[in-house]
Amino acid sequence: MLMSENLQELQTEMRNQASERLDQMSALETVTLMNEEDQKVALAVKAALGDVAKAVEVIAAALQRGGRLLYFGAGTSGRLGVLDASECPPTFGTPPGMVQGVIAGGPAALVEAIEGAEDSLELGREDVQRIGVTSHDVVVGIAASGRTPYVIGVLEEARRRQAKTIALSCNPEPDISQGVDIAINLIVGPEVVTGSTRLKAGTATKMVLNMLTTASMVQLGKVYGNLMVHLQATNQKLRVRAKQMVMQATGAGSEEAERLIAEASGDVRVAIVMKLAGLTKEQAAQRLHRAAGRVRQAIEQE
């Protein structure tokens, strides 16, 4: 494991030559530089897409079998994992436990630094034990530096429990990639503010987490075309979106879409299948059940 005196050897801790006179720049110069640096992020993610796709396949297979996707990280990395996990139920209608994010130090660490939490191998092991990781699950250890002891402890314990393991970092040859099933390394280079990995590293991490959950849910049939038909319409905006989706998917007018959604008890998938396959609510629900919730397959069933 790298020790603190080796920190300067990490790309994410090196000084960015383009920003060495940052304290002398105007506001426009600063944000222009940040924008130029951010343009490198998408290219860094592009270089890792092969590994990201492999991770998606592993995650989708595990979720299909009833397993879970579990993110673990400290600081910004942990917060990003919690954020991505929390957005899956409203977007894709997933059970709350299917995708979870765990941050070193617990929920309090979402809003304040918890001293020493990221430095504890044992805390990582304990969190894996506490959440009951099994061989059915996929564990993603997130660490921009690639050397966070907490994440190393997480991945070691997850491997011991025979879970699938994925390491996500922003440095070459990260410690956390040792022994994992898939390593995703996003080489974004030095930050505009030296060592501030909430910047390019954080953006790159968020982009990949978006891909891991979104592409996995697509593989599981959670969309119809590009419509998020599994969404939970829990507020007025989402109810309007649900009606628009039924209109877009079926060609129904506004009033008919409202009627279909009402007959389907608010289930967009059922409403779409009812309209496009000419079925009752009960028949549409039965087809969706046989198709494991996949709208297109339910419509095409004979």
Residues 270, 246: Cα–Cα separation, whole Å: 10
Among the options 87, 256, 258, 263, which is catalytic? 87
- Residue 147's CB is within 10 A of a number of other CB atoms, namely 20
Q: Helix (H, G, I), strand (E, B), or coil: what is residue 70?
A: strand
Among the options 37, 118, 156, 157, which is catalytic? 118
Indicate if 118 belongs to the active site: yes
Could you tell me the two tokens for 7?
A: 């920190």
Dihedral, 234, 239, 243, 244 alpha carbons, nearest 10: -100
92: left (phi over 0), alpha (psi -120 to 50) or beta: alpha
Indicate if 20 belongs to the active site: no
Residues 176, 168: Cα–Cα separation, whole Å: 8
Catalytic residue IDs:
87, 118
